[in-house]
Structure 1
Amino acid sequence: MMVTEDQIEFISNSLEFHGIVSESIKEDIIDHICTTIETSDHTDFESAYQEAIQKLGGYYNIKQLQLETKQLLHSKTIIRTKRGLYLSGMTMVFIFSVGLIFKMFHWPYANMLLILGLTVLLLAYCPLFFYIKYKQSIINYQS
């Protein structure tokens, strides 16, 4: 059975309706569905299309595939950002702790260390923390 342009458009619209927004993934899935339909024994498009979707695991699994692909593409950035969050947090804790010790013993530069620790907190740790939360909320919203 040959797939027509109208049927390809139907498949594309159906995937968009079910939440597949990534163009590259959508094109790959359309290609896979068309190949499955063309090699099937069905004579009508609807039953061949439903069989192709079931072979892919249904619309839910297709959407999960899109989410996992997006997470894998952005995993390097997420790892680098979390490493920066960890390092800035450890730096902030270390500088702030040393500043508190200096303050308890009334040593010089105690106020400077406390201000530096708070500066690292406000200019490095907090922005990275909220950036990671924002990116995770976007990924969770799209799933």
Structure 2
Amino acid sequence: MKISEAQEEQIKERVMQHAFQLEGLADDLIDHIYCYLYEHGTEKRDFSCQLDEAIHLLAPDGLETIEDETFYLLNFKKMILMKRFIYGIGLIGAMLFSSGVIFKIFHWPGANVMLGSGVIVGLLMYLPLWAIDRNKYKMVQKPLEKWKLNLGVASGVLVGLGTMMKALHLMGAGVTLMLGALIFIAGFLPVYFVSSYRKAIEA
């Protein structure tokens, strides 16, 4: 099937509707769809229907999934290394905190240091890195979901730190707790329920 200039523009228009971030991906998709229609298309059928079929064959779940899969393949090794580092940090934090609890129960020295270190590692290192990882590698894509994740992590970190500071009678504990609670109540909860509502009506 010969592809006219108008039909070629139609292909480009359909592909460019998606704001692809990976450089060159849109051109590759346009070429792929063009070649498919050139080989398998027919002038006896409506071109728009054939274009829809070609796109569906290429990406049954939408062209956005092509970018996600490509991004995943290009960054697979980095993602694995990052995850090992993040979960290693999480393991260290959990082990420190758990050991601190045991030391506290038996009144052994160093309990507070272990508890504090575990909380700091978990709240100031593991949680932020976990959130960055999910944002960076597009595990969370919708803006509302990103807000929910970031606000949840921020409020969790502040409330956790405030609680620890309160237990250790450190200055600023009340302010930290109040700020964390404010972010949770005025930020995270509204975003969470709006997100849940949208998911419910889309289901």
TM-score > 0.5 by shorter chain: yes
Give the structure 2 partner of residue 54 of structure 1.
53
Q: Is the 8 A contact 1:67 1:139 kept in 2?
A: no
Structure 1 CA distance, aligned partners of 2:54 and 2:97? 57
Alignment of 1:1-143 (within 5 A): 2-3=2-3, 5-17=5-17, 19=18, 21=20, 22-39=22-39, 42-43=42-43, 47=46, 50-51=49-50, 53-58=52-57, 60-61=59-60, 63=63, 64-134=65-135, 135-138=138-141
Q: Percent identity?
A: 30
Structure possessing the higher relative contact order (Cα contacts under 8 Å, 6 or more residues apart): 1
Which shows bigger deviation, 117-126 or 75-84? 75-84
1:91 CA drift (Å): 0.7
Provide the TM-score with structure 2 as the length reference: 0.54
**TM, length-normalised to structure 1:** 0.71
More helix by share: 1
- What secondary structure, in the 3-state scheme, does the structure 2 residue paired with 1:138 have? coil
Per-residue Cα deviation, 1:101-131 (whole angstroms, up to 9, x for no partner): 2222222222211111111112211112222
List gaps (5 residues or longer) in structure 2.
146-203
Deviation at 1:133, TM superposition (A): 3.9
3-state SS, counterpart of residue 107 of structure 2: coil
Structure 1 regions of 5+ residues with no counterpart? none
Q: Aligned letter for 1:51?
A: Q
CA distance in 2, matches of 1:114, 1:25: 49
What is the rounded CA distance, in whole Å, between the counterparts of 2:83 and 2:41 in structure 1?
51
Q: CA RMSD in A?
A: 3.2
Contact 1:81/1:128 (<8 A) preserved? no
Aligned length: 139
Return the letter of the residue paired with 1:137: V
Using the alignment, how far apart are the partners of 1:40 and 1:97 within structure 2?
Answer: 63
